[in-house]
Chains A and B, each alone.
Chain A
């Protein structure tokens, strides 16, 4: 039997697949990283986005309302101020009746003094007139001297005041005798059953200026409109007095607000009806300005939401990355540790095989010493042996053969003990099985009467495996089979290909195992072998190796009859048949 290493071993016929283990693992983690990141982002972004949109609309609505309410309250407060202004003007006039300079027979000089007083109280007043019961303006002070002695008895305001219950009257804007736009405020007092009236006019420009002074809101225009919708006091960029306002005042509510479209712009108009006269105070503000603050706030909130989204996305990305890196590291470490354990187990199994190895090495050594003894005897004069060079050569050939036999064993041992880098190649299982059995094992087993029977399926396809690791598993299983056999026995090696699975069966005629033993054989450190013979790591590691290649190990056993260990490996088609 020749146990020299055959250089054209099975590995030469294997071809390396175009992808290796590391690439597949990297791809797996890349996919996992992508799925996890996208999944978490979606899981976060959907509820976050929904909430953000909901709050956005809610916020818009609230701010809209607030903007309108603000304008209404602005109109109400301005209305109150205008009411107060008018009341003050009325009181200014009433107080004249009680002025010491005043009497029913007032002279023009006196009334001039009164006008000066009045103007000091408020510069909106233009002139001052005193009317007798017949409606004749008996005294007048002011710039329109033609109004002196004018008869106002047919004027609407005069009739309204004279016959009305109220003792003052404020007119809408009108031209009157002076033919200039003005308002008239008139107050009456009954003295000795005669109705006396003091009237004064208000300057529309001054009134407008007053309106401007009370209006400090940005972009807001205030104006006064009478019940017919005619401008009373209005800014020049909106309209002119006597013009019809386009904003028909709402009569139904004391105050309110509405949106109107003008020249493509939306304008908010709030109204508030005055108490002193039938006027309405309108406050208009372009929507853009009304909601400017709201838009600023909305922009800030949107920015914050987007920033939070970015921060969360970043956190998700970083955390996922960290987690995956950690998992990948852990998995790589686990792989590394598994490889170390596999190697340790391999070395342990060499220890277990040491007796057989010693025997196998001692045999050629015995041949060498015996044969060298023969040669030495040739040259020993004591024995007087005839020796031709041919005789000596013959002995030397035997020596050489023994040396190579020993070398074969040590080479096998070194090859087996070598720390292999993991690799996945398409390998022929029959070849691997023969490599495991040939040499050491078969020879060792032969001397203890264990024979091998090979039942190989010659047509099984190559499978993607790590040949070194598979060899170790098979060697371990064969060693176990040998250990199970007491006395002569047979180990049958069967390979089969069934429904995409390559099956390797190692059947022994050994003592078999009980059900209790079967339950525990894959547990690390469990061994049925005698002390010093087994580490109890072999089957655990074997299972680990086979499972890492996506395979399985099944066991059938019957006490006193033997056991069968079946390794199943899935056959995958090479991705690229051309790669060698």
Chain B
């Protein structure tokens, strides 16, 4: 079964290119262009992995993350930021973020992280 990935970022060109790459790598990809859109999608569908941009207009990555976790605590969230802020990443990890990746990304690294996250999600689901 394909890993269901939700890409959240306000940069449309970026999301589009990224999703094209992920689709050919056999992922089930959905795109959201804002925090609210992502929350909406999660409340209606099930995703295994969410790749979430930190800096977005409207609801930012952190707030969106909190709401997503409220809706579905098992979903794996990879924080994705243009800020090379290690402090922020560590902070995020402590707060229950599952992983992080810094822009610009190498697709293979992202794929690895998604597969890993997908596996974690499967384990959690099986445990439950």
| Interface residues, chain A, with chain B CB atoms under 8 Å away | 355, 358-360, 362-363, 365-371, 373-374, 377, 380, 383, 385, 395, 398, 401-402, 446-449
Q: Which residues of B contact A359 (CB under 8 A)?
A: 55, 82-83
A377 near B82 with CB under 8 A, answer no
- A385–B21 alpha-carbon span in the complex (Å): 11
Which 10 A/B pairs are nearest by Cβ-Cβ distance?
Answer: A362-B82, A370-B17, A366-B103, A366-B104, A365-B104, A369-B104, A447-B55, A371-B17, A359-B82, A383-B24
- 16 CB contacts below 8 A, A to B, read A358-B83, A359-B83, A362-B83, A366-B11, A367-B11, A367-B14, A369-B104, A369-B107, A370-B105, A371-B13, A374-B21, A377-B20, A380-B24, A398-B13, A446-B57, A447-B56
B21 engages A370 (CB within 8 Å): yes
Contact A449 B83 (CB under 8 A): no
* B113–chain A nearest beta-carbon distance, Å: 15
Q: CB-CB < 8 A to A362: which residues of B? A: 82-84, 103-104
User: A residues within 8 A CB of B85?
Assistant: 355
Alpha-carbon separation in the docked complex, A359 to B58 (Å) = 17
**How many Å lie between the Cα of A295 and that of B83 in the bound state?**
97
Q: Which residues of B contact A401 (CB under 8 A)?
A: 13
Q: Chain B residues near A402 (CB, 8 Å)?
A: 13
The secondary structure that dominates the A interface is: helix
CA distance A362 to B105 in the complex (A): 10
A368 — nearest CB in chain B belongs to which residue? B104
Contact A374 B58 (CB under 8 A): no
Could you tell me the distance between the alpha carbons of A366 and B14 in the complex, rounded to whole angstroms? 7
* Contact A363 B56, beta carbon cutoff 8 Å: no
Give the CA-CA distance A374 to B103 in the complex, in Å: 16
- Give Cα A370–Cα B57 distance, bound, in whole angstroms: 22
Q: Bound state CA distance, A385 and B23, in angstroms?
A: 11
Chain B, 6-40, CB within 8 A of any chain A CB: 10-11, 13-14, 16-18, 20-21, 24
Residues of chain B having any CB pair with chain A under 8 Å: 10-11, 13-14, 16-18, 20-21, 24, 55-58, 60, 82-85, 103-107
Task: Tell whether A449 pairs with B58 under 8 Å between CB atoms, given A359-B82, A366-B11, A371-B13.
Answer: yes
Closest CB-CB distance, B23 to chain A, in whole Å? 9
Cα–Cα distance between A371 and B104 once the two chains are bound (Å):
11
B56→A373 contact, CB < 8 A? no
Q: Are A358 and B24 in contact (CB under 8 A)?
A: no
A385 to B14, CA, bound (A): 20
| Interfacial chain B residues near A395, Cβ < 8 Å | 17
Residue of A nearest to B108 (CB): A373
Q: How far is the CA of A373 from the CA of B82 in the complex (A)?
A: 18
CB-CB under 8 A for A447 and B11, given A370-B18, A373-B107: no
Please name all residues of chain A whose beta carbon is closer than 8 Å to the beta carbon of B10 when the two chains form the complex.
447
A365 near B17 (CB under 8 angstroms)? Answer: no
Which residues of chain A come closer than 8 Å to B57, judged between CB atoms?
446-447, 449
Closest chain B residue, CB of each to CB of A355: B83
Q: Which residues of A contact B103 (CB under 8 A)?
A: 362-363, 365-366
Give the contacting residue for B17; candidates A355, A358, A367, A380; CB below 8 A: A367
- Nearest chain-A residue to B84 (Cβ)? A358
In the bound complex, CA of A355 to CA of B106 (Å): 22
| CA gap between A284 and B24 in the complex, in Å | 139
Judging by beta carbons under 8 Å apart, are B60 and A449 in contact? yes
* Contacting pair B82 A370 (CB below 8 A): no
Known A358-B83, A402-B13, A447-B10; further 20 A-B contacts with Cβ < 8 A: A358-B82, A358-B84, A362-B83, A363-B11, A363-B14, A363-B82, A363-B103, A365-B103, A365-B104, A366-B103, A370-B18, A370-B105, A371-B13, A373-B107, A374-B20, A377-B24, A395-B17, A398-B17, A447-B55, A447-B56
Contacts of B16 in A (CB 8 A): 398
What is the bound-complex CA distance between A365 and B56, given in angstroms?
17
Tell me the smallest distance from the CB of B64 to a CB of chain A, in Å: 13
Residue among A365, A370, A371, A377 having the largest count of chain B Cβ atoms under 10 Å: A370
A18 and B33 alpha carbons, distance in the complex (Å): 53
User: Given the complex, which residues of A lie within 8 Å of B106, measured CB to CB?
Assistant: 369
Cβ contacts under 8 Å, A370 to chain B: 14, 17-18, 21, 104-105, 107
The docked-state distance in angstroms from the alpha carbon of A367 to that of B13 is 7
